[in-house]
Amino acid sequence: MNQAGVNEKYKVSPFYVFFLVHSMQTGVGILSFQRVLAKTTGTDGWISILLAGLIVHIMIWVIYKIFSIVPGDIVSANNQAFGKWIGNFFSLLFILYFLILGMTVMISYINVIHVWMFDEVPSWAFALVFLILIYYINTGGFRTITGIAFLCSILTYWLLFVLFYALKYSEFTNLLPVFHHTLSDIWKGTRSTSLTMLGFEMIVMYYPFIKDAKSSQKYAHGGALTTTLITLFVYLVSLVFYSQKQLQLTIWPTLTLTSIVELPFIQRFEYIDVSWWAIVIIPNMTIALWAASRGFKRLFSVQQKYPLWGMSIIILLTNIFVFDIDSLYILRKIVNPYGALFIALYLPLLLVVIYIKKMRKRL
């Protein structure tokens, strides 16, 4: 039964869960979340971010609780809780969700490249390069993916310091007044940050790949906490840098913010930022597609590379036949209310069902 069992040599240290969670969470969301957040909550947006971070922590706790009762991954947990057919249906939903998340990240980033740098390059050209890279990383197995996640987090950390440059042009009274939005506004703001916060749920796929998995919980929490703090920092800097109306007009506030940077050897810094962002994006797409194809493998017992090919082709075809902005709106819609809601409701439900089953068995 224990199909989810993974050979010891493919496992990674619990410490790396920090980077897996953190690098998966930070992606395209952090480029543009400020705009909607400023519209709904304005100066109180930081409360929404902290609230979203809190929810992420609770979800991580739920995930670890589930797997402390049912060791394995989400596929075995689903089967255990709901039986083969319904369980497999939910596993399929998860696979679909992972695929859509990966697709959203890629198309969002291609959209950014189109607007900021190469408007004349067709989107499939970028998609092709990314997909080949993702496939190549995925053939290396989960250890390679972890390595990439680690490397990409380390390589992009310096981008944070660019934000300090913007403080030179900032107006700190923009942070005030606090607490003048209603709770429902703040809750709306929390929902709008979900694209920045999503990504932690990949744990449900790679949990069996962690050595001494239970001890990795603190690293998962650490990764999520880091993401929350970075998001918070980015939002606060954007608040003092932009005025409210300006922030609502700017589509990618984080990128526009870096265009104020001028260095003696480079005049237009945002081009470096946009290009470097590819490194932030790579683990996002890789882990998502890995999780989707891994789920497929577990469900249908095929080699992992076949679903990976299939998914790559789906993404490529989407990029060729659907104009990327249109597909982006649909995908964002799917991910933002529905995907996030699915994760936030389904995982606690799963925990409850598993818990009840376990109690019954004991009786």
Closest CA to 228 of 258, 193, 276: 193
Task: Determine the straight-line distance between the first and last CA of the chain, rounded to whole angstroms.
Answer: 23
Distances (CA, A) of 332 to 102, 202, 335: 11, 18, 5
Residue type at 243 in one-letter notation? S
Binding residue (CB under 8 A) for another protein from 118, 157, 300, 329: 118
Least Å distance, CB 254 to another protein, is 13
Q: Is 305 in the site for another protein (CB under 8 A)?
A: no
176 binds another protein (CB under 8 A): yes
- Write out the binding residues for another protein, residues 67-96 only, by CB under 8 A: none
306 binds another protein (CB under 8 A): no
Q: Which is nearer to another protein, 122 or 141 (CB)?
A: 122
Residues between 199 and 258 that touch another protein (CB under 8 A): 242-246, 249, 256
Among 92, 93, 96, 115, binds another protein (CB under 8 A): 115
Least Å distance, CB 119 to another protein, is 9
Asked if 230 and 54 count as a contact pair (C-beta separation under 8 A), the reply is: no
Closer residue to another protein in complex, CB, 124/207: 124
CB of 175 to another protein, least distance (A): 8
Pick one of 83, 157, 160, 262: the residue that binds another protein (CB under 8 A).
262
Q: How far apart are CA 106 and CA 282, in angstroms?
A: 9
CA distance 255 to 253: 5
The site for another protein, by CB under 8 A, has a size of: 34
Burial 72-109 (b: 16+ CB within 10 A, else e): bbbbbbbbbbbeeeebbebbeebbebbbbbbbbbbbbb
| Candidate ranges 116-124, 143-151, 192-200, 224-232; the one touching another protein (CB under 8 A) | 116-124
Find the part of the chain contacting another protein (CB under 8 A) among 27-35, 167-175, 213-221, 292-300. Answer: 167-175
Q: Which of 54, 58, 86, 125 binds another protein (CB under 8 A)?
A: 125
User: What's the chain's Rg over C-alpha atoms?
Assistant: 20
Q: Scan for tokens 């697709």, then name that residue.
A: 103
- Cα within 13 Å of Cα(107), Cβ side: 27
**278 in contact with another protein (CB under 8 A):** no
Considering the complex, what minimum distance in angstroms separates the CB of residue 43 from another protein?
Answer: 9
Residue 136 near another protein by CB under 8 A: yes
> What residues form DSSP beta bridges with 210?
12
Q: Long-range pairs for 213-216 at CB < 8 Å and ≥24 separation?
A: 213/14, 213/67, 213/71, 214/64, 214/68, 215/14, 216/14, 216/15, 216/17
Part of the chain binding another protein (CB under 8 A), chosen from 14-22, 175-183, 198-206, 230-238: 175-183
Instruction: Provide the 3-class DSSP secondary structure of residue 266.
Output: strand
Where along the sequence are the contacts to another protein (CB under 8 A)? 115-118, 120-122, 125, 128-129, 132, 136, 169, 171, 173-177, 179-180, 242-246, 249, 256, 259-260, 262, 267-268, 270
